[in-house]
Amino acid sequence: MNTKEMIAFVDLHAQHAPILDEIHAAINEILSNSSFIGGTAVSQFEAEFAQYLGVQEVIGVGNGTDALWLALVANGIGPGDAVITVPNTFIATAEGITRAGAHPLFVDIDIETANLSPVALNEFLANQCAVDDNGHLRHVQSGTRVAAVMPVHLYGLPADLLAISEICEQHQLTLIEDACQAHGAKIRVNGEWKRAGTFGAAAAFSFYPGKNLGAIGDAGAVVTNNPEAAAKMRELRSHGSSEKYIHTTHEGWNARLDAIQAAVLSIKLRYLDEWNECRYQAAQWYRQGLAGLPIELPYEPEDHQHVYHLYVVRTEQRDEVRKALLDYGIETGIHYPIPLHLQQAYNWMNLPLGSFPNAERSAQTILSLPMHPYLSQQQVEHVCQAFKSVLSDK
């Protein structure tokens, strides 16, 4: 059943083709006025993305990692503090924490959603943390002040923000959302849909090219409803300056969003909901075509709207299946093969295999199937048929 045409994991050519004239026109306009850093294109995108999300402030930055760092620093989190997150994420989540001078603390995931488990979070706070004489919650082993929780909306599915928000309020912890994979995702609250990225004190978005809303290079943004925090982030992203050559802090950095990326993002933002609907349709074709196979399909909780940045299944025969699918001309991925606590970069945390069973099991079994807005029903059916053939041979 081999096919001559490779089914790409992500097809940016197909996604850009219908809007290529718009992109070229936007780039040519920036070339003609030579406004490459800041300017109208950046402020326009910030305003449009703020309106799309329903937030007061959007601060465009160089990438999602910058966004994570700025979201933390602007909310007063730094040296001596700890931030709780999950181990099954891209390293940028933890890098943002350490770049802020804080200490990452990992909590296990819910195996069905692959997101931060509120149950595990409660257990961690009860069993591994204690309130000190000053009323601060501290992680007993490291002695750090537990300052924030950073759930990751992995693969485009929002974490259980209602439960996590309640826990944060109970323990006076700052909620910072890693929404880098969740552009347009929603949670229903009291009958009304609310977008991921609008629940916490701030949220970080990445616009890496393969994201649901992707630039044509690196780009990111922080969103918040706090004008003071937004002002601080605008200074920090531009060398600690709000006025040229006047620097108010030595903690600044070059973390600016450039105008070409902002202009492209403004164009793509107009298509985001349509593209997300296409991803959702492809996910339903997968669900129908893979039904009944001995694999675990993505779980979408009630009142959560997944945007399928990635379509991730789980199978105990992951590596064999992945190799066999490639023989059928089907590209796949693994997001992410090694949890952070088992990476060499975090050896210093002394968290051996078995520390986070759900995250570890997930890493050993996950397989990301082709997913993008221009994935056709025929292509999905081919992937499903190939999957069936591969598993029948096992």
Q: Is residue 6 part of a domain?
A: no
Where does the pLDDT of residue 3 fall: very low under 50, low under 70, confident under 90, or very high at 90 and above?
Answer: very low
Whether pLDDT at 225 is above 90: yes
Predicted confidence at residue 244, as pLDDT, reads 87
Same domain? For 186 and 297 the reply is: no
Tens digit of each residue's pLDDT (9 = 90 or more) over 307-321: 999 999 999 999 999
pLDDT in tens, 269-313: 999 999 999 999 999 999 999 999 999 999 999 999 999 999 999
* 318 located within any domain: yes
Spatial separation of the C-alpha atoms in residues 119 and 362, rounded to whole Å:
18
Name the domain boundary from 212, 241, 269: 269
239 and 329 assigned to the same domain: no
For residues 180 and 315, membership in a common domain is answered with no
- Provide the domain count of the chain: 2
The reply to whether 3 falls in a domain is no
Average confidence score pLDDT of the chain: 97
Looking at the structure, do residues 208 and 302 belong to the same domain, yes or no?
no
Placement of tokens 């991921």 in the chain: 196
Q: What tens digit of pLDDT does each residue of 106-115 get? A: 999 999 999 9
The answer to whether residues 264 and 277 belong to one domain is: no
Query: Within this chain, do residues 252 and 360 fall inside the same structural domain, yes or no?
Result: no
* pLDDT tens figures, 4-13: 579 999 999 9
316 and 200 housed in the same domain: no
Residues 120 and 149 placed together within one structural domain of the fold: yes
Q: How many residues does the chain have?
A: 394
- 351/366 same-domain check: yes
pTM value?
0.97
Residues 258 and 123 in one domain: yes
User: Domain check: are 128 and 86 in the same one?
Assistant: yes
The domain boundary, picked from 269, 292, 319, lies at 269
Q: Are residues 203 and 228 in the same domain?
A: yes
- Is 8 contained in some domain? no
* Stretch 59-73: mean pLDDT: 98
Can you read off the two tokens belonging to residue 238? 């531009």
pLDDT of residue 394: 64
**Is 10 a domain residue?**
no
362 has a pLDDT exceeding 70: yes
Q: What percent of the chain has pLDDT over 90?
A: 96
| pLDDT tens-place string over residues 369-388 | 999 999 999 999 999 999 99
Identify whether 2 is part of a domain.
no
Closest CA relative to residue 88, chosen from 324, 279, 368, 369 = 368
> What range defines the domain where residue 344 resides?
272-392
- The last residue of one of the domains, among 238, 269, 300, is 269
Q: What CATH number is associated with residue 174?
A: 3.40.640.10
- Note the pLDDT of residue 1: 40
SS in 3 state form for the chain? Answer: CCCCCCECCCCHHHHHHHHHHHHHHHHHHHHHHCCCECCHHHHHHHHHHHHHHCCCEEEEECCHHHHHHHHHHCCCCCCCEEEEECCCCCCHHHHHHHHCCCEEEECCECCCCCCECHHHHHHHHHHHEEECCCCCEEECCCCCEEEEECCECHHHCCCCHHHHHHHHHHHCCEEEEECCCCCCCEEEECCEEEECCCCCCEEEEECCCCCCCCCCCCCEEEEECCHHHHHHHHHHCECCEEECCEECCCCCCECECEHHHHHHHHHHHCCHHHHHHHHHHHHHHHHHHHCCCCCECCCCCCCEECCCCCEEEECCCHHHHHHHHHHCCECCECCCCCCHHHCHHHHHHCCCCCCCHHHHHHHHHEEEECCCCCCCHHHHHHHHHHHHHHHHCC
